[in-house]
Amino acid sequence: MDTTQRTEQQRSADRRRRELLEAADRVVLRDGPGASMNAIAAEAGITKPILYRHFGDKGGLYAALAQRHTDALLDSLRAALDAPAERRERVEATLDTYLAAIEARPQVYRFLMHPAEGSPSEQGFDVGKHSAPLLRRMGEELAQVIEDRLDLGPGSHQLARVWGHGIVGMMHAAGDWWLGERPCGRAELVRSLADLLWGRLAAAGDKVGGPGF
């Protein structure tokens, strides 16, 4: 098989994988954590063994969907952080971007973060094993943004990682509680979380020559 044939085969496989993920998305939007491999295979018009061939098991499908949605969310968070506005406004915009994303697609959020709420046949699916890497990735990404933009003085790398993971943990915990109970409006929650963050973040200087924060 020549290079052209291999490239075309890879493109075809990538295209088929995207189609299967789009089918999975539709089922997740409908069924949330109850989305099953059987339902996804039916939506895609294939048998479950073919779905397993592409993703291995529900964990593999979950990981692919998680990357798809996390990539999109991180792009939105970076855009909010880099918007031409005062720092406090950008902090609030970033918090609001995250909360708006989980509010707009709560079934997707619950599938990614609470998959054990699914059907009894799939309750063995390990929530922490799969959701924790999403939060770690977001924490590391935010830590890099903080380190690139703020002059935190000695130990800045370690402090940026502490802040990155801490902020993501706060957003996740507060957002999870808020999405379930809706005790207040999104704007009020954003202001309250920004108030909590604002102490040392407000006092930190921008890095010389950096993009600012």
In CATH, what number is assigned to the domain containing residue 119?
A: 1.10.357.10
Measured distance CA(57)–CA(28) in Å, rounded: 16
Measured distance CA(172)–CA(102) in Å, rounded: 10
Q: How many CB atoms lie within 10 A of CB 43?
A: 19
Question: In this structure, is residue 151 part of a structural domain?
Answer: yes
Higher pLDDT residue, 122 or 106?
Answer: 106
Question: In this structure, is residue 81 part of a structural domain?
Answer: yes
Give SS3 for 151. Answer: strand
pTM value?
A: 0.80
DSSP secondary structure letter of residue 116:
G
Q: Of 70, 167, 144, 56, which Cα lies nearest the Cα of 112?
A: 70
Phi, psi of 151 (to 5 degrees): -90, 100
Question: In this structure, is residue 211 part of a structural domain?
Answer: no
In this structure, are residues 83 and 90 in contact, taking their beta carbons and an 8 Å threshold? yes
Enumerate residues 6+ apart whose C-beta is below 8 A from 72: none
In this structure, are residues 194 and 91 in contact, taking their beta carbons and an 8 Å threshold? yes
Q: How many domains does the chain have?
A: 1
Torsion of CA 28, 128, 162, 109, to 10 degrees: 10
Question: In this structure, is residue 122 part of a structural domain?
Answer: yes
> At 120, is the pLDDT very low, low, confident or very high (cuts 50, 70, 90)?
very low
Question: Vertex 209, ends 203 and 213: CA angle to 5°?
Answer: 40
Question: In this structure, is residue 188 part of a structural domain?
Answer: yes
Phi, psi of 207 (to 5 degrees): -70, 140
Ranking 17-21, 110-114, 203-207 by mean pLDDT, the lowest is 203-207
Measured distance CA(21)–CA(17) in Å, rounded: 6
Residue with tokens 């708006």: 100
At residue 168, the pLDDT reads 94
Question: In this structure, is residue 212 part of a structural domain?
Answer: no
Tell me which residue range forms the domain holding 130: 3-206
Question: In this structure, is residue 66 part of a structural domain?
Answer: yes
At residue 115, the pLDDT reads 66
Measured distance CA(39)–CA(29) in Å, rounded: 12
Torsion of CA 33, 35, 37, 38, to 10 degrees: 140
Measured distance CA(116)–CA(107) in Å, rounded: 13
56-106 confidence digits (pLDDT tens): 887 888 888 888 888 888 899 889 988 888 889 999 999 999 999 999 999
Question: In this structure, is residue 213 part of a structural domain?
Answer: no
Question: Vertex 24, ends 10 and 115: CA angle to 5°?
Answer: 125
